[in-house]
Amino acid sequence: MTVLRCIRCSNTFEPYHPNYKCPRCGGLLEYEIDYENLKEEEFSGKFHFWRYRKFMPEIRNIATLGEGGTPLHRAERLAGRLKVRNVYLKDETRNPTNSFRDRSAALMVSNAMDIDYQAVVCATNGNLGASLAAYCA
């Protein structure tokens, strides 16, 4: 089970709806995940971002464009030049907007939908803006 725990007073709260400030003392809340129970869980199903929901805040409305599940490519020559056994490169261009930012945009827009936000605003001049625009559309 995941809970929100205050870093100041240690009180715990249900993680849904997400909150970031302790209603008792005003301290910051952080997610605390029960990793022991997660070890027993089997991560199965389609290989994509939402496969790992058990590690994320509770989401009830999922905004997805098929993000995640991007391939790893072994870079043998680079590993040789670096004198290490293995180097892998993650190909995030396979995401819907060609960016790793699609993973965070999916989570942010899903959270916004859960708490009935009508709009999402982000100050950016890069990939996050394009990704959020795609997920909000």
Q: Dig out the tokens for 62 from the structure.
A: 């999922």
Q: Do the Cβ atoms of 50 and 62 come closer than 8 Å?
A: yes
- Residues 57, 36 share a domain: no
3-state secondary structure of 96: coil
**Predicted local distance difference test score (pLDDT) of residue 39:** 67
- Residues 72, 60 share a domain: yes
- Residues 66, 37 share a domain: no
Packing angle of the helix pair 127-136, 101-114 (nearest 10 deg): 40
- Residues 62, 37 share a domain: no
- Residues 50, 37 share a domain: no
Q: Which domain holds residue 129?
A: 44-137
- Residues 117, 59 share a domain: yes
Query: What global pTM score does this model have?
Result: 0.80
In the DSSP assignment, the letter for residue 3 is E
**Predicted local distance difference test score (pLDDT) of residue 78:** 98
- Residues 26, 54 share a domain: no
**Predicted local distance difference test score (pLDDT) of residue 42:** 67
- Residues 51, 31 share a domain: no
pLDDT means over runs of 10, the chain (137 residues): 90 81 94 78 78 83 96 98 98 97 96 92 93 97
- Residues 53, 36 share a domain: no
- Residues 48, 37 share a domain: no
- DSSP states along 9-76: T--EE-SSS--SB-TTT-PBEEEEE-HHHHHHS---SSSSGGGGGGGS---SS---SS---PPEEE-H
Please provide residue 36's backbone torsions phi and psi, each rounded to the nearest 5 degrees.
-60, -45
Number of structural domains, the chain?
2
